[in-house]
């Protein structure tokens, strides 16, 4: 299945949406896994935070399709769509999905 990932990015005070098309074989894949796949294979400049990957620390919290969620705990199958919009969860953006505070 091809998933369209739209990421709101922030660079030098400018905001824009970048779109990635990613081949996903397992719908139990998490949004965090998808972001890591993009960073490792498509765009090494994509910035986001994560730590525990178990839904405990909150470092990977982003807005997913308009709702604040943990990227590590949000599975593609639970979203019910093949288009996923990811945005930073706070207004004080450092870079891309990385926020201050």
For residue 12, what is the domain's CATH number? Answer: 3.10.20.30
Domain assignment present for residue 15? The answer is yes
Q: What is the number of structural domains in the chain?
A: 1
Q: What's the domain range around 46?
A: 2-92
63 vs 84: CA distance, rounded Å? 10
- What are 26-67's pLDDT values in tens digits? 989 999 999 999 999 999 999 999 999 888 999 999 999 999
**What integer pLDDT is reported at residue 2 of this predicted model?**
95
Helices (H), the chain: 31-41, 76-79
Report the pLDDT value the prediction gives residue 12, as an integer from 0 to 100: 79
- This prediction's pTM: 0.93
Backbone torsions φ then ψ of 85, nearest 5 degrees? -105, 125
Pairing status of strand 67-70 against strand 83-87: unpaired
Is the residue at 99 inside a domain?
no
10 near 31, Cβ under 8 Å? no
């Amino acid at each position: 299945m091809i998933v369209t990932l739209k990421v709101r990015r922030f660079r030098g005070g400018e905001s824009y949406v970048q779109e990635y098309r990613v081949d996903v074989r397992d719908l139990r894949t998490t949004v965090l896994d998808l972001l890591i796949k993009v960073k490792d294979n498509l765009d090494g400049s994509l910035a986001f935070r994560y730590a525990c990957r178990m839904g405990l620390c909150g470092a990977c919290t982003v807005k997913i399709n308009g709702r604040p969620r943990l990227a590590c705990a949000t599975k593609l199958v639970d979203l019910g769509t093949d288009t996923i919009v990811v945005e930073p969860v706070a207004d004080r953006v450092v870079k891309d999905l990385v926020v201050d505070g």
